[in-house]
Amino acid sequence: MTERPDSAAWLARFVGGRTPPTRETLRGWERWRKSRNDFLPAPRMDATAWRLMSPRKRALHDLHRAATHSNLPVLATPMARKVATRLTTRLKTNWLKQKPTTRAGVMITGGGAQGKTETVCEIAATFQDEWERLGQLTAVAQPGTRDLIAPIAYVQTPVTAKPKSTCKAILNFYGAPITSRMDLPDLVHQVAASLRDHGTRVLVLDDITRLRMHRADDQDTLDLIRALMSMHVTLVLVGVDIPSSGLLREGRFDRPRSQVSFASATSRGAFGLQATQTERRFDLVELDRFRYDTPDQIAAWVQHLSGVEECLRLLRASTEMLTGGTMPEYLHRRTNGVVGLLERLIEDGCEEAMSSGSECLTESLLEGIDIILGNSFDQTSREAPKIPKHNPTSSRRTRNRNGSFDDKGPSSIDAGA
């Protein structure tokens, strides 16, 4: 029996009823990839229809609306489409390559909270979906290994990156056995075997700017990452402000081709691996924030706000709630055009609008909300974005908890109908 999207059983699957998948393991990646579009937003409803519901259905609908605002989709932006075009082209080209040559990699850079990880994971998952539909994932597991095909591997760079810890992070994705007796050459051999046996064609290393080039261990780890390029996988490195991180210090940036070419190694690598004879090449692509300087940039920002507006489920949402009047300029000033900060502000604003009964986002309501990121971002990778200074012109509100199940007495919606 199929569950109704508005039933308590269906909603429980998304509100405390299951653990979100972790993409750092093969099973977690597959679970996320196959379920990433399963969430259905709350149905649209105005205040009149809401009043006609029973108290229990109101509470369930309010909880569904809150879940909708907490799970806003990743919307396509002009900057994300640029990244998607470059990354998809590189993945396809390398996927079809049969020659035993080093595969060119891609570096995705940008500021904090600009959606780099979600954009890259979505592109990689979509690429895998399409190739599965074409029946092109034909890698066969080797004898003695698990029959698990993993064309995409997603790994977070360890906080204190060393060659051994990086190898272990990659092996942990596959659930490969790791013993305390394994030295570095053994770990590198195991990584190469896992990539081969599981048919991995793309290796995503997130938070790559945790590496600090003034540390010997980090330089050795970068050498290992370069050596992985000779294992017939496409390396996708994701990090904050990669050009100024020192990762490219030993390289040469070819501006016309938007590529970084690393000079050929002149000595043996740190793990007994000889560097390839070809230069290490990466496409360097920036996922930028929204700008607000030209008519085209303003139009792109307003279009994005229109997409966000369509995802909201406030009962008294006015026409052009986010795109009319001075609201676009106000939201850009509060978030500096960073999609992650915009999401946080809108999410908290919707919670305040529901709790207060106003059920609409306005500048005066948002004025009382500070953007607080807390520990959401890793400070070691400089991921935390700079939040624009906010000097509210109206009285400051205190952030409210979710009051969906509170008995508030007569609703302000009823009173104002």
pLDDT in tens, 103-145: 899 999 999 999 999 999 999 999 999 988 887 655 544 555 4
User: What's the Cα-to-Cα distance from 279 to each of 16, 99, 261, 275, 285, rounded to whole Å?
Assistant: 49, 16, 6, 9, 19
Pick left, alpha or beta for residue 115 (phi over 0 → left; psi -120 to 50 → alpha; otherwise beta).
left
The pLDDT assigned to 373 comes to: 76
What count of Cα atoms within 13 Å lies in the side-chain half-sphere of residue 336?
16
Question: Cα separation of 80 and 119, whole Å?
Answer: 7
Asked whether residue 99 carries a pLDDT value surpassing 70, the answer given is: yes
Q: Which residue has the higher pLDDT, 383 or 150?
A: 150
Whether 379 shows a pLDDT value over 60: the answer reads no
- Dump the DSSP string for 198-228: TT--EEEEESGGG--TTSHHHHHHHHHHHHH
Query: Higher-confidence residue: 409 or 238?
Result: 238
If phi > 0 it is left, if psi is from -120 to 50 it is alpha, else beta; for residue 135 that is left
Query: Residue 273: in which H helix or E strand, if any?
Result: none
Q: Rounded distance, CA 64 to CA 5, Å?
A: 10
Cβ-in-10-Å burial (0-12, 13-18, 19+) of 222 comes to buried
- Using DSSP, state whether 400 is helix, strand or coil: coil
User: pTM of the prediction?
Assistant: 0.82
How far, CA to CA in Å, does 324 sit from each of 303, 319, 345, 365?
11, 8, 17, 16
Q: What is the chain's percent helix, strand, coil content, to nearest 5? A: 45, 10, 50
CATH entry, 78-286, from 3.40.50.11140, 3.40.50.300, 3.40.50.10440, 3.40.1010.10: 3.40.50.300
* 286 — pLDDT class (breaks 50, 70, 90): very high
In whole numbers, what is the pLDDT of the chain averaged over residues? 82
Q: 100-104, 188-192, 331-335, 366-370: lowest mean pLDDT where?
A: 100-104
What value does the mean pLDDT take over residues 19-40? 92
Q: Which of 33-47, 146-160, 350-364 ranks highest by mean pLDDT?
A: 350-364
Between 412 and 67, the more confident residue is 67
pLDDT at 224: 86
State the pLDDT at residue 377: 57
What pLDDT is attached to residue 1?
41
> 144-167 burial, b if ≥16 CB within 10 A, otherwise e?
eeeeebbbbbbbbbbeebbbbbbb
- DSSP codes, 101-158: SPPPEEEEEE-TTSSHHHHHHHHHHHHHHHHHHTT-----PPTTS-S---SEEEEEPP
Whole-angstrom Cα distance, residue 22 to residue 26?
9
Closest to 352 in 3D by CA, of 363, 341, 340, 339: 363
The total of other beta-carbon atoms located within 10 Å of residue 10's CB is: 16
Comparison of pLDDT for 291 and 213, the residue scoring more: 291
Domain ranges of the chain: 22-35+44-76+291-399+409-415, 78-286
CB burial of 99-130 (b: ≥16 within 10 Å; e: otherwise) equals: eeebbbbbbbbbbbbbbbbebbbbbbbebbee
Which residues on neighbouring strands pair with residue 284, listed in sequence order?
107
How many residues are recorded in the chain? 417
Mean pLDDT of 145-168: 87
Would you list the DSSP string of 43-78? PP--HHHHHTS-HHHHHHHHHHHHHHHHT------H
Q: Are 253 and 244 in contact (CB under 8 A)?
A: no
pLDDT in tens, 236-281: 999 998 887 777 655 444 555 555 454 444 443 444 433 333 335 7
What backbone torsions phi and psi does residue 203 show, to the nearest 5 degrees?
-120, 115
Q: Tell me how crowded residue 375 is: count the other CB atoms within 10 A of its CB.
A: 7
- Percent of residues, the chain, with pLDDT higher than 90: 58
For residue 40, give both structure tokens: 């259905």
Identify the CA nearest to 47 among candidates 356, 411, 402, 409: 411
Structure-block tokens of residue 325? 């009047």
